[in-house]
């Protein structure tokens, strides 16, 4: 019976894009979040909310392997977070797409060069394949024809679409979006959330969105988790 339960648990961990079970997270000696149990499946989106300092950033850092997990079981994109090392970390990071409030684009470069650079840095060699993939992701985010534009010539919403295109380059099963609309006006914020939701539906990408914008949560409903009192709990 015990062997059967263990096998069932392993299957669930492999199927889920994110699986945390009884995880404690620390900053130094201080526990920030405790007894986290959290699961996200393919093509599923969820929101992460909570006041500043409540642990949202700590949780996101753990998900993308920037903060070690010492207690509990934690799996992301098929990787055991407790087994990450300098060799496996780059392979793991290719399974993740990152979208931040601050775009972190090379502003003097063209859209094409920003995207091609990421592919080259992650091991793509053949120029025709790189060009084709760049064009594919630009089409996915509605920026066909923008490849030769400089980043400085784009609006804030267009720049965030480039960031999302960049996140999609290596076909990650998971996108982590940390305040992706924090610098955008309401209409543009709606466009970005609609795009993220469409990508989740059409390409099976799972998405974790950390946000303070409760208007977006009402307009684009999904499961909501709140960081509060050192815990992460689903909000009904």
Residues 59-84 have a mean pLDDT of 94
pLDDT for residue 7 is more than 70: no
User: How many other C-beta atoms can be found within 10 angstroms of the C-beta atom of residue 132?
Assistant: 10
pLDDT in tens, 119-157: 998 888 899 999 999 999 999 999 999 999 999 999 999
pTM above the 0.95 mark? no
Question: Terminus-to-terminus CA distance in the chain, angstroms?
Answer: 34
**137 in helix, strand or coil?**
helix
Closest of 197, 198, 133, 217 to residue 170, by C-alpha: 133
The Cα 118–Cα 167 span in angstroms is: 9
Which of 235, 166, 175 shows the shortest CA–CA distance to 209? 175
Q: Which token pair is 95?
A: 């399974």
The 10s digit of each residue's pLDDT in 173-224 is: 999 999 999 889 999 999 999 999 988 888 889 999 999 899 999 999 999 9
Closest by CA to 138, choosing from 112, 113, 110, is: 112
Phi, psi of 55 (to 5 degrees): 120, 0
Domain boundaries, the chain: 43-68+83-235
SS3 content of the chain, % helix, strand, coil (to 5): 40, 25, 35
pLDDT band at 14 (very low <50, low <70, confident <90, very high): low
**What would be the CATH architecture of the domain defined by 43-68+83-235?**
3-Layer(aba) Sandwich (3.40)
Q: Place 10 in a pLDDT band, splitting at 50, 70 and 90.
A: low
């Amino acid at each position: 019976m015990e062997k059967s339960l263990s096998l069932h648990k392993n299957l669930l961990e492999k199927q889920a894009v994110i699986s945390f079970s009884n995880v404690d997270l620390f900053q130094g000696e201080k526990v920030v979040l405790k007894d986290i149990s959290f699961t996200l499946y393919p093509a599923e989106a969820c929101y992460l909310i909570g006041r500043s300092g409540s642990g949202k950033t700590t949780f996101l850092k753990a998900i993308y392997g920037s903060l070690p997990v010492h207690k509990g079981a934690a799996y992301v994109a098929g990787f055991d977070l407790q087994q990450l090392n300098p060799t496996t970390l780059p392979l793991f990071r290719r399974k993740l797409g990152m979208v931040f409030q601050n775009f972190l684009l090379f502003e003097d470069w063209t859209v094409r060069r920003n995207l091609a650079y990421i592919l080259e840095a992650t091991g793509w060699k053949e120029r025709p394949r790189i060009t084709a993939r760049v064009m594919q992701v630009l089409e996915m985010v509605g920026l066909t024809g923008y490849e030769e534009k400089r980043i400085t010539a784009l609006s804030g919403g267009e720049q965030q679409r480039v960031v999302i295109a960049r996140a999609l380059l290596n076909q990650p099963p998971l996108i982590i979006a940390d305040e992706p609309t924090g610098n955008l006006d309401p209409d543009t914020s709606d466009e970005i959330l609609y795009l993220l939701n469409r990508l989740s539906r059409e390409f099976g990408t799972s998405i974790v969105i950390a946000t303070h914008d409760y208007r977006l949560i009402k307009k684009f409903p999904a499961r909501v988790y709140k960081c509060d009192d050192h815990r992460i709990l689903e909000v009904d």
